Amino acid sequence: MEFLGEVLAWYVDPHQWTGRQTLGGEIGGTLLLAALSLAVALLIAMPIGLYIGHTGRGAQAAVSIANIGRAVPSLGWMGIAYPITTALFARAGHGLMPSVIALALLGIPPIVTNTYAGLREVDPDLHEAGRGVGMTEGQLLWRVEVPVALPVIMAGIRSSAVAIVATTPLMSLIGADTLGDYIIAGLNLNDTVRVFAAALLVVVAALATEALFAWLERRATSPGLRARAADAAAGGPFNAEPAGAAG
Amino acid sequence: MKAQPAVPSAPTGATSTTGAVVALEHVTKRYGRGDAAPAVNDLSLTIGAGEICVLVGPSGCGKTTTMKMINRLIEPTSGRITIAGEDVGVLPRVELRRRIGYVIQQVGLFPHMTVADNVAIVPRLLRWPAARITSRVEELLELVGLDPAGYGGRYPSALSGGERQRVGVARALAADPPVMLMDEPFGAVDPIRRERLQNEFLRLQEKVRKTVIFVTHDVDEAIKMADRIAILQRGGVLAQYDTPDAILGSPASEFVERFVGADRGLKRLSLGRVRDLQLTQPVVVRPGDSRSDARRRMTEDATGFALLLDAADRPLGWIDERDLRGDGPIDPESAIPGAPTVQPETTLRDALSTMLLSSVQLGVVVDERERVLGVVSVDDLSEALRGGDGATPSARGGPQA
Amino acid sequence: MRSGQPFIRLDWLVDNADQLARRVGEQLYITVIAIVIGVIVSFGLALLVRRYPRLGGPILGIAGTLYAIPSIAAFVLLIPITHLTLWTAEIVLVSYTLVMLVRNMIAGFRAVPADVLEAADGMGYTNAQRLWRVELPIATPIIIAGVRIATVTTMGLVTIAALIGSGGLGYVIVNLGILRQFPTATISGVVLVVTISALLDWGLAILQRRLTPWSQARAG
């Protein structure tokens, strides 16, 4: 119990809030890095997922992406990105660059597979109906398919976000400023309080991300689709493994 | 003292055992608190050995509940059920069920076992010697019309709906139980196949003579299959328990009248079978026969059609006499495709329906291998109806009244 | 990075083959223990839910909450209690395995068709016979599918456990590779993890096919 007291004391210790490395800074760094990586992942994964989901072409690609995403551990993306960026960019290849690349690569598979699956599930009759009233392919996609597939797509984004947040602390190993700094330092110095305190914050961040995106999912789902949304909330079709287990 | 089994186990390999008498005495089943209406209320019923008793009634009448109390899948709240005089409540449930055949609508074949293994389930539970099990499985598959060599090693997912039903029946008969419970066993297949399965089961019953409790919601099926029908009202109240003929001829109450339906008269056609009729022999031709020869043989035939058969005596279609003009061999293409067939066990009602479907208005009677036995016409049917008071119900070795 | 050196140094791989082999051994050892314990415990929980279906909700709910916890945090949070031993890692790994497998096993048992269960009861199977001879064989494909996912995921988690000193290929990737700026170790570590995961997955897939000969048949 006194251990917990020490942990709480660590949070409010002014030492944490001054100097080069502050708790606030590290927390901010973690969240910013995660957000940036998620944005990059979305930027890459959504167009791919929307395309193969809408047209139905490249189903094999979707399956392969899912398999690769499952087989490569989170540490693995880091292990691939870091040597390459440092080889190409030397000093600039530390820290932010490989971290964003690794985290984005981690976050892409759930978004692609869920977007693809969600769009595939849309009743083909809706396609016909939409084309029948004169919608263009683009209108069909955005006004009909995406809203109907939204719960499943959001579940994929949620899964991706939680995995990214859970893995961001590991990026301290390659120079990023995240809560992982405290964990690594603490492990090296045998400072259990520091390690525990930082880990607790990581858990809070992950759970908060989960809650935030679950809320967004609910807001984004039209009431008419609530039943399907309940299904998707269970994780979506490709979400067999725990998100936190990625990080 | 160890309880004796309620029913004797089968003698070595014999396919026919006399069924046992099943008696329900004041059986009640109540769910929930005391004041809820009972699902089955004080039902008493005796089913004679070797009889088919059909439980029929509207939904909520407790027919399935009643059936399931016999093998104690549902336990009665009060009352007694006996098989061959022994109370079923005395024997351990698992042992009881191994001596009762059970067939349900979706069949419930074990997907992870072959057809042969499925059929062998109860004999294996009863620890029969392996050789006896193997021969019994073969025997049963043949009995239900499935070639053991072809079907034994197959898995249920490779079978059609009708084939699965047959395996289900074979499986229920495997340990030669004296009592069979069947819950809408033919409900999951299309009407044509259902008719065939019903006929096959009736043929089977003639050989094995089990006591069968058969549940259905279909009155016509009840009339066709039953030695005696038990019509149940809501709450398991017995409205009438009698032979199909008696129920149709003298319904005991307004409920029975309504339940049987306003077409009671037509339904009596279900009491008669095709085998009660006189079959006529059509003019038979085969592909390649000479037309002039066929024409000559048709001079005495009033129908104006010849029946085209294949090499195995199975019907291919009817050929109009007018298509037989000229010389040369008969062209199989000239046959009107599809000669709807009936079997000896088909009820007159179904036969009439079949005949009216054919443009030729004749019913081709075939045996279980689809070989032609003869032909019946609508006239033959009305002839039979006119002679005596309705069609004579065919003898099935039914109950001693 | 040392200039003048090739990106991947095959000679290093050859020289350190025995150490790599040892790390692979550690990786497999930890993974297999976690999976085996996980399978046994989740099977027990699934039997419990089979017997008392009401427990399904709470058990799956707890599993659901546990899944959102990042593994690095989970490993680390256990240190005050179990200190830096193999048990720290194993407890966390088994927990994650449970989370995945319990859901899977329960789903497997629920996938047995109702008519098959009814037929089994009606024919006179005892409860135990029904479980072992009917439900378990039918649930096997779903269960093995879950074990496959759990195995691959656990391999990934074991690499992270290297950060708290449990060795394995994570040590190769991080300690020998990233922290020493040595791409050869980093990349070969990743390649080994992915390859071994794929092999394990493939092996289990073959096992799945062997155990379920009936799933190949289709109605004609």
B53: helix, coil or strand? Answer: strand
Residues of A in contact with C57 (CB under 8 A): none
Instruction: Determine the Cα–Cα distance for residues A38 and A161; give it in Å rounded to an integer.
Output: 6
Contact (CB, 8 A) for C183 and C7: yes
Cβ-based neighbours of C130, under 8 Å, separated by 6 or more: C117, C120, C121
pLDDT of residue A226: 61
Q: Is the pair C, A in contact (3+ CB pairs within 8 Å)?
A: yes
Smallest Cβ distance to A240: which of C70, C149, C163? C149
Tell me the per-residue pLDDT of A112-149, one tens digit each, with 9 for 90 and over. 999 998 888 888 888 888 888 888 888 888 888 888 88
**Cβ separation of C187 and A80 shorter than 8 Å?**
yes
Find the helix or strand (DSSP H, E) in which B319 lies. strand B315-320
pLDDT-above-70 percentage for chain C = 95
Tell me the per-residue pLDDT of C42-86, one tens digit each, with 9 for 90 and over. 999 999 999 998 998 898 888 877 877 888 888 888 887 777 777
pLDDT-above-70 percentage for chain B = 92
pLDDT of residue B387: 65
Cβ-based neighbours of C49, under 8 Å, separated by 6 or more: C55, C56, C59, C106, C109
Residues of C in contact with A158 (CB under 8 A): none
CA distance C182 to chain A (A): 8
Backbone angles phi, psi at A147, to 5 degrees: -55, -40
pLDDT of residue C193: 94
Query: Residue C126, Cβ neighbours under 10 Å: how many?
Result: 15
Residue B312 confidence (pLDDT) above 90: no
pLDDT of residue B152: 92
Which range is least confidently modeled, A169-173, A209-213, B170-174, B385-389? B385-389
CA distance B370 to chain C (A): 22
What sign for the dihedral angle of Cα B113, B118, B121, B124? Answer: negative
pLDDT of residue C122: 95
Distances (CA, A) of C103 to A152, A193, C97, C108, C138: 20, 34, 10, 9, 16
Q: What is the interface pTM, i.e. ipTM, of the complex?
A: 0.82
Chains that touch A (3 or more CB pairs under 8 A): C
Smallest Cβ distance to C77: which of A87, A196, A247? A196
- Using a 10 angstrom Cβ sphere, with 0-12 exposed, 13-18 middle and 19 or more buried, the burial of residue C86 is middle
Smallest Cβ distance to C198: which of A71, A192, A199? A71
Backbone angles phi, psi at B53, to 5 degrees: -110, 120
pLDDT of residue C206: 94
**Cβ separation of B171 and C219 shorter than 8 Å?**
no
Smallest Cβ distance to B108: which of C116, C126, C218? C116
**How does DSSP classify residue C5?**
S
Q: Name the strands in the sheet holding B52-56, side by side, starting at the edge strand that comes first in the sequence.
A: B100-103, B179-183, B211-216, B52-56, B228-233, B237-242
Backbone angles phi, psi at B235, to 5 degrees: 90, 15
**Cβ separation of C77 and A71 shorter than 8 Å?**
no
What sign for the dihedral angle of Cα C144, C147, C153, C158? Answer: negative
Tell me the per-residue pLDDT of B360-381, one tens digit each, with 9 for 90 and over. 778 889 988 888 899 988 888 8
Cβ-based neighbours of B281, under 8 Å, separated by 6 or more: B374, B375
Shortest CA distance from A76: residue in chain C: C190
Q: Name the strands in the sheet holding B305-309, side by side, starting at the edge strand that comes first in the sequence.
A: B284-285, B305-309, B315-320, B336-337
Smallest Cβ distance to A195: which of C79, C187, C197? C79
**Cβ separation of B94 and C116 shorter than 8 Å?**
no
Tell me the per-residue pLDDT of C162-199, one tens digit each, with 9 for 90 and over. 988 888 999 999 999 888 888 889 999 999 999 999 99
pLDDT interval class at B282 (50, 70, 90): confident
Instruction: Give the C-side interface with B, CB within 8 Å.
Output: 113, 115-126, 129, 134, 137-138, 212-215, 217-220
Q: Which residue has the tokens 């259902």?
A: B194
Shortest CA distance from B93: residue in chain C: C124
pLDDT of residue A230: 55
Smallest Cβ distance to A245: which of C1, C96, C198? C96
Could you tell me which residues are beta bridge partners of residue B182? B103, B214
Instruction: Determine the Cα–Cα distance for residues B171 and C41; give it in Å rounded to an integer.
Output: 36
**Cβ separation of C160 and A70 shorter than 8 Å?**
no
Which residue of C123, C143, C208 to mutate against B (max B Cβ within 10 Å)? C123
**How does DSSP classify residue A189?**
H
Residue B98 confidence (pLDDT) above 90: yes
Instruction: Determine the Cα–Cα distance for residues A94 and A171; give it in Å rounded to an integer.
Output: 10
CA distance C68 to chain A (A): 5
Please give the average per-residue pLDDT across B149-153, as a whole number: 92
pLDDT-above-90 percentage for chain B = 48
Please give the average per-residue pLDDT across A201-206, as a whole number: 93
**Cβ separation of B110 and C113 shorter than 8 Å?**
no
Which token pair is C200?
């394990």
Which range is least confidently modeled, A19-28, B203-212, C5-14? C5-14
Chains that touch C (3 or more CB pairs under 8 A): A, B
Chain centroid to Cα B129, Å, comes to 31
pLDDT of residue A91: 81
CA distance A23 to chain C (A): 17
Q: What is the mean pLDDT of chain C?
A: 88
Instruction: Determine the Cα–Cα distance for residues A128 and A133; give it in Å rounded to an integer.
Output: 9
Cβ-based neighbours of B92, under 8 Å, separated by 6 or more: none
Chain centroid to Cα C69, Å, comes to 17
Contact (CB, 8 A) for A208 and A85: no
- Using a 10 angstrom Cβ sphere, with 0-12 exposed, 13-18 middle and 19 or more buried, the burial of residue B320 is middle
Tell me the per-residue pLDDT of C130-170, one tens digit each, with 9 for 90 and over. 999 999 999 999 999 999 999 999 999 999 999 888 889 99
- Directed axis angle between helix A192-220 and helix A2-12, to 10°? 70
Q: What is the mean pLDDT of chain A?
A: 84
Distances (CA, A) of B157 to A12, B113, B164, C77: 66, 10, 9, 50
CA distance C126 to chain A (A): 34
Please give the average per-residue pLDDT across A190-219, as a whole number: 90
Which residue of C69, C179, C188 to mutate against A (max A Cβ within 10 Å)? C69
Residue B10 confidence (pLDDT) above 60: no
- What is the pTM for the complete model shown? 0.79
Contact (CB, 8 A) for B318 and B339: yes
Instruction: Determine the Cα–Cα distance for residues A142 and B133; give it in Å rounded to an integer.
Output: 64
Please give the average per-residue pLDDT across C88-97, as a whole number: 89
A230: helix, coil or strand? Answer: helix
CA distance B156 to chain C (A): 8
Contact with chain A for residue C167, Cβ under 8 A: no
Instruction: Determine the Cα–Cα distance for residues A131 and A143; give it in Å rounded to an integer.
Output: 12
Q: What is the mean pLDDT of chain B?
A: 85
Instruction: Determine the Cα–Cα distance for residues B108 and B169; give it in Å rounded to an integer.
Output: 11
pLDDT interval class at C4 (50, 70, 90): low
Contact with chain C for residue A107, Cβ under 8 A: no
pLDDT of residue B129: 96
Length of chain A as a residue count:
247
Residues of C in contact with B105 (CB under 8 A): 115
pLDDT of residue C77: 86
**Cβ separation of C186 and A83 shorter than 8 Å?**
yes
CA distance C148 to chain A (A): 11
pLDDT of residue A225: 64
pLDDT interval class at A246 (50, 70, 90): very low
Contact (CB, 8 A) for C201 and A71: yes
pLDDT of residue A157: 94
Instruction: Determine the Cα–Cα distance for residues B298 and B292; give it in Å rounded to an integer.
Output: 10
Contact with chain C for residue A192, Cβ under 8 A: yes
Which residue of A6, A75, A88, A174 to mutate against C (max C Cβ within 10 Å)? A75
Query: Residue B83, Cβ neighbours under 10 Å: how many?
Result: 26
Distances (CA, A) of C85 to A34, C19, C174: 31, 21, 19
Chain centroid to Cα C41, Å, comes to 13
Which residue of A113, A182, A209, A241 to mutate against C (max C Cβ within 10 Å)? A241
Residues of B in contact with C214 (CB under 8 A): 111-114, 155-157
Shortest CA distance from C155: residue in chain A: A73
